[in-house]
């Protein structure tokens, strides 16, 4: 039975989506049907399609009462909206259906686990949100909340751990058919920790252990965990709040990192070996992964940063928030690699390519422009010339605006900067990252989709994402060298 709250949300989104024309949205990055979007939820392959749910406030382009929006796709690039899947309409979730995940049950139904939020009056008159884990079961369109909700609450967490910070369950199924999930939580010392739970059937859950603890290393609370095997290792992805920068890592305040290590399925023991930022740009948070039917591990994140949500197109806008490109993951030499899913290549048309262009000063190239493009660049020093000091590509450019990606080989630093992208807000608009290069040779792939750029460095060694709201007419691209470089460029339009 659909509740009144959900029926209203469905009616509202159907009517107000019509107010948004296609060109006002990204073309192949999922944006909310209407209103506000944050984290990807319930990312899954179900009944012959990819399903992606998302944290959703249909009624405003601001965070608010959390619903789950819903969309499906055959290739993770072309999305079709389905009616909102969950609304805050039960005693266990009346103040929000927060992030969670999805698995398929043996009987073919889809099981969603999400965080139910209930505001609780505190002695000082303020409110805190009590968080529990809840279930809903459905057929890929309509979901029925489980009558025994919540299935995990304060009774199921270690002594002293916070019942106010206990959220974002990510489930998976083991080979023996049983289920596991990881949930973000705060330990008695206030530091983030990831709890592991198990279930024989997806409905009865029990606490196993602390899978990983922050112990004051990376920020405070750890949100939105994901945990999966990849190339012989196990990867724990978490999104810590309130991080301190360390060298060139963890500059985002709220950012996403991964811990790569070994996991023993019998004991549930995770042994960390290394840590790194997942995205070195400005906008990336709370990602989820799936295993595709052909065995690829693919990740989608919220292409946004909580700290820069005032960076908007305009105050009154019909939608806010978008997902990142789906990225294929791998591990090479102990590091996480990310590349756009290969299906993106099927959208390529209008190839324009140049080899060995000598750039000294500013160069524009015939046919190289656009705001929905996939562009590969290789930049290298020129024999007989000194090592160049700086190479930059300016894009989304017109007389007034541009965003730039610049590289200084002497410092090994790549910088994305959207200060001149048209934003009228004095918030963080740039990020610098250390990159590897061979004597000044660097490979970049840039994917633009109207309101964003995602950069993949050296065939996936690093990714940098940033949203930009520059007028769409600003579609120029230019290349600039301080010194002399040789440049190869291949650009495709994405349609
Ligand atoms: C992360 C997050 C989650 C929570 C959701 C609420 O961005 O804070 O921890 O479930 O957003 O919308």
**pLDDT, tens digit (0-9, with 9 covering 90-100), for 210-220:** 999 999 999 99
**What pLDDT, on a 0 to 100 scale, did the predictor assign at position 320?**
97
**Pocket lining: 13 vs ligand 1, CB cutoff 6 Å:** no
User: Tokens in use for 373?
Assistant: 């493009």
Query: Residues 6 or more apart from 107 whose CB is under 8 A from it?
Result: none
Residue 36 in this model has a pLDDT that exceeds 80: yes
User: Tokens in use for 265?
Assistant: 């399925």
Residue 287 in this model has a pLDDT that exceeds 90: yes
List the residue whose alpha carbon is closest to atom 6 of ligand 1. 98
**Pocket lining: 36 vs ligand 1, CB cutoff 6 Å:** no
Distance 197 CA to ligand 1 centre (A): 20
List the residue whose alpha carbon is closest to atom 9 of ligand 1. 223
Closest CA to 41 of 63, 16, 69, 17: 69
Closest CA to 145 of 82, 93, 194, 105: 93
**What pLDDT, on a 0 to 100 scale, did the predictor assign at position 398?**
98
Least confident of 21-25, 159-163, 244-248, 462-466: 244-248
User: Tokens in use for 268?
Assistant: 């549930």
Distance 40 CA to ligand 1 centre (A): 10
Which of the 8 DSSP states describes residue 371?
S
What band does 351 get if pLDDT is binned at 50, 70 and 90? very high
User: Tokens in use for 62?
Assistant: 């601001």
Q: How far apart are CA 257 and CA 145, in angstroms?
A: 32
- Quick one: which atom of ligand 1 is closest to the CA of 302? 7
Residue 110 in this model has a pLDDT that exceeds 80: yes
Give residue for tokens 């930049």. 379
**Pocket lining: 98 vs ligand 1, CB cutoff 6 Å:** yes
132-91-119-65 Cα dihedral, nearest 10 degrees: 90
The residue-averaged pLDDT of 387-400 equals 98
Distance 127 CA to ligand 1 centre (A): 17
User: Tokens in use for 474?
Assistant: 């600003």
Instruction: Using DSSP, state whether 455 is helix, strand or coil.
Output: strand
Which of the 8 DSSP states describes residue 419?
T
Closest CA to 323 of 341, 342, 335: 341
**Pocket lining: 66 vs ligand 1, CB cutoff 6 Å:** yes
The residue-averaged pLDDT of 20-48 equals 97
pTM comes to 0.97
**What pLDDT, on a 0 to 100 scale, did the predictor assign at position 248?**
87
Residue 315 in this model has a pLDDT that exceeds 80: no
What is the average pLDDT score of the chain? 97
Residue 316 in this model has a pLDDT that exceeds 90: no
**What pLDDT, on a 0 to 100 scale, did the predictor assign at position 428?**
86
What band does 373 get if pLDDT is binned at 50, 70 and 90? very high
394 to each of 115, 285, 318, 338, how far by Cα in Å? 42, 25, 29, 23
52-85 pLDDT, tens digit each:
999 999 999 999 999 999 999 999 999 999 999 9
Distance 411 CA to ligand 1 centre (A): 36
Burial class for 494, CB neighbours closer than 10 Å (0-12, 13-18, 19+):
buried
- The dihedrals phi and psi of 19, each to the nearest 5 degrees, come to -80, -10
Burial class for 390, CB neighbours closer than 10 Å (0-12, 13-18, 19+):
middle
SS3 sequence of 137-177? EECCCCEEECCCCCCECHHHCCCCCCCCCEEEEEEEECCCC
275 to each of 238, 245, 278, 411, how far by Cα in Å? 11, 14, 9, 23
- Is residue 417 among the annotated active site residues? no
**Pocket lining: 99 vs ligand 1, CB cutoff 6 Å:** yes
**Pocket lining: 39 vs ligand 1, CB cutoff 6 Å:** yes
142-145-146-152 Cα dihedral, nearest 10 degrees: 130
> Around 147, how many Cα atoms within 13 Å sit in the side-chain half-sphere?
1
Distance 67 CA to ligand 1 centre (A): 12
Instruction: Using DSSP, state whether 7 is helix, strand or coil.
Output: helix
- The dihedrals phi and psi of 11, each to the nearest 5 degrees, come to -65, -45
**What pLDDT, on a 0 to 100 scale, did the predictor assign at position 172?**
98
Instruction: Using DSSP, state whether 459 is helix, strand or coil.
Output: coil
List the residue whose alpha carbon is closest to atom 8 of ligand 1. 223
**Pocket lining: 115 vs ligand 1, CB cutoff 6 Å:** yes
Q: How far apart are CA 486 and CA 481, in angstroms?
A: 10
**Pocket lining: 286 vs ligand 1, CB cutoff 6 Å:** yes
Distance 208 CA to ligand 1 centre (A): 23
**Pocket lining: 241 vs ligand 1, CB cutoff 6 Å:** no
- Quick one: which atom of ligand 1 is closest to the CA of 99? 10
Which of the 8 DSSP states describes residue 323?
B
- Quick one: which atom of ligand 1 is closest to the CA of 224? 9
Distance 39 CA to ligand 1 centre (A): 7
> Around 10, how many Cα atoms within 13 Å sit in the side-chain half-sphere?
15
- The dihedrals phi and psi of 407, each to the nearest 5 degrees, come to -135, 130
231 to each of 19, 53, 295, 331, how far by Cα in Å? 45, 27, 11, 6
């Amino acid at each position: 039975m659909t509740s009144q709250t959900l029926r209203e949300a469905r009616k509202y989104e159907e009517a107000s989506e019509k107010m948004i024309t296609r060109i006002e949205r990204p073309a192949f990055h999922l944006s909310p049907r209407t209103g506000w979007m944050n984290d990807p939820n319930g990312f899954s392959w179900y009944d012959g399609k990819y399903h992606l749910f998302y944290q959703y406030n249909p009624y405003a382009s601001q965070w608010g009462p959390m619903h789950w929006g819903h969309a499906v796709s055959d290739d993770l690039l072309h999305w079709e909206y389905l009616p909102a899947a969950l609304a805050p309409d039960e005693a266990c979730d009346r103040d929000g259906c927060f992030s969670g995940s999805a698995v398929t049950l043996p009987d073919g139904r889809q099981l969603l686990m999400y965080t139910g939020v209930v505001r609780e009056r505190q002695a000082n008159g303020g409110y805190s949100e009590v968080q529990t884990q809840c279930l809903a079961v459905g057929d890929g369109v309509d979901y029925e909340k489980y009558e025994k909700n919540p299935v995990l609450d304060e009774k199921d967490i270690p002594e002293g751990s916070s019942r106010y910070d206990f959220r974002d369950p990510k489930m998976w199924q083991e080979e023996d058919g049983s289920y596991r999930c990881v949930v973000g939580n705060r330990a008695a010392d206030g530091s983030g920790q990831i709890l592991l739970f198990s279930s024989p059937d997806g409905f009865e859950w029990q606490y196993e252990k602390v899978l990983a603890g922050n112990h004051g290393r990376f920020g405070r609370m750890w949100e939105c965990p994901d945990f999966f095997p990849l190339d012989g290792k196990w990867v724990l992805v978490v999104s810590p709040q309130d991080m301190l920068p360390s060298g060139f890592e963890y500059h985002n305040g709220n950012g996403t990192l991964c811990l790569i290590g070994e996991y023993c399925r019998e004991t549930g023991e995770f042994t960390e070996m290394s840590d790194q930022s997942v995205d070195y740009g400005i906008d990336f948070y709370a990602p989820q992964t799936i295993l595709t039917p052909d065995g690829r591990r693919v990740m989608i994140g919220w292409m946004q940063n909580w700290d820069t949500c005032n960076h908007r197109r305009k105050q009154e806008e019909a939608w806010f928030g978008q997902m990142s490109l789906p990225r294929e993951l791998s591990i090479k030499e102990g590091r996480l690699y990310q590349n756009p899913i290969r299906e993106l290549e099927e959208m390529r048309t209008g190839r324009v390519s140049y080899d060995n262009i000598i750039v000294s000063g500013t160069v524009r190239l015939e046919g190289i422009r656009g705001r929905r493009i996939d562009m590969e660049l290789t930049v290298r020093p020129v024999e007989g010339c000194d090592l160049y000091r700086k190479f930059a590509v300016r894009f989304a450019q017109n007389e007034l605006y541009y965003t730039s990606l610049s590289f200084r080989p002497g410092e090994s630093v790549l910088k994305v900067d959207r200060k001149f992208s048209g934003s009228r807000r004095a918030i963080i608009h740039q990020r610098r990252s250390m990159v590897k290069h061979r004597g000044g040779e660097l490979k970049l792939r840039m994917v633009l989709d109207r309101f964003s750029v995602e950069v993949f460095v050296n065939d996936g060694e690093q990714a940098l994402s940033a949203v930009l709201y520059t007028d769409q007419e600003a579609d120029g691209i230019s290349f600039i060298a301080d010194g002399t470089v040789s440049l190869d460029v291949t650009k495709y339009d994405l349609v």
